[in-house]
Amino acid sequence: MNALKNMICLLVFVAFTSNIWATSTTNTTIESQPLAALQSPVDTGKYVVVFMINGNEYKGKVLKETAQTLTVETLDLGELELFKDLIKRVVEVDEENIARLYRNNYQAIDTRYFFGTNGFSVNKNAGYYQNTWVFFNQFNYGLTDNLSVGGGVVPLFLFGEFGGEITPFWGTVKYSIPMPYEKFHLSVGSLFGRIGTQEDSGFGLLFTQATFGTPDANINLGVGYGFAGGELASRPTVTLSGLWKMNNNMAFISENYLISSEFGDTAVITSAGLRFYLKKVSIDAALVRPLPTDGGFWALPWLGISVPLGKY
């Protein structure tokens, strides 16, 4: 039972709990009134953020302006013709920073590394869906700027009745504690799940994460205690992770675990790879390697895709 409990705690923690950009952007804001009323037109070729009266935002390059419309080539939706009477205001940005503004759509995704979370909060009404190797599915959504909830499933029920009996599913909650320091972020959370219809198959995790830095460059220290069969693990699992955005479209991520058993044994799991920010999704590609190993170098591939949800 102890061996099974340790294995469940390890898998749950690896899946969920590892989890210094200080650039200021100079923007030119066109007055906050309907664009049709502006005296000065927006120059063709300018990169802008268009704020609509209904709350929508569009980021891209101005292609054409008429007396009634503004045509913008957006980064995610292609060419859009926007009626000026529905535009609240327009913010001009330089070409370098438009990609940064677009990448901010992935704020929620960057609250995770490959497997687990960190101290950053998911914004209210924002979230993400994550899929890894087809079968591992989970989502997370911000109820407030500090509180987020989520859930996930490995859909083994697709393989028949027996698969349904052993399908793991779970729910999560995470609270990011407001801190007075701009580059220090702290969160606490928990996970509760069970294995299909199996009796006494409940499992879970209690964790805390401390993140130093910004969404563009940070290092994270996490501590978690797993539980299964009504018993809490006597030793914690510790994580050390980090993210560094090398440019507007790619980040380097490393996520590492120190796992201690109740018998005093320890194991280390390391991982390193890249996150690619595409127009509508992000893709994670990494190698995962346990230490120590015998028989030379080997590593397991990791491939995941994340889709931003909600409003940013």
- pLDDT score, position 96: 64
Specify whether 254 is located in the same domain as 276: yes
CA 62 to CA 52: how far, in whole Å?
A: 15
CB atoms within 10 A of CB 235: 17
**Same domain (yes/no): 40, 141:** no
For residue 295, the model assigns a pLDDT of 63
Domain interval for residue 79: 28-93
Do 153 and 281 belong to one domain?
A: yes
Residues 42 and 138 in one domain: no
**Low-confidence residues of the chain: pLDDT under 50:** 1-39
The Cα 289–Cα 7 span in angstroms is 17
User: Are both 224 and 279 inside the same structural domain?
Assistant: yes
Q: What's the pTM value of the predicted model, to 2 decimals?
A: 0.69
Same domain? For 52 and 194 the reply is: no
Percentage of the residues of the chain whose pLDDT score is greater than 90:
44
pLDDT at residue 13, as a whole number: 40
Residue 202 belongs to a domain: yes
On whether residue 263 sits in a domain, the answer given is: yes
pLDDT (0 to 100) of residue 59:
80
Do residues 194 and 286 both lie within one domain?
yes
pLDDT at position 256 is 97
Q: Quick check: 150 and 139 in contact, CB under 8 A?
A: yes
Same domain, 125 and 264: yes
Q: Looking at this protein, which amino acid is placed at residue 247? A: N
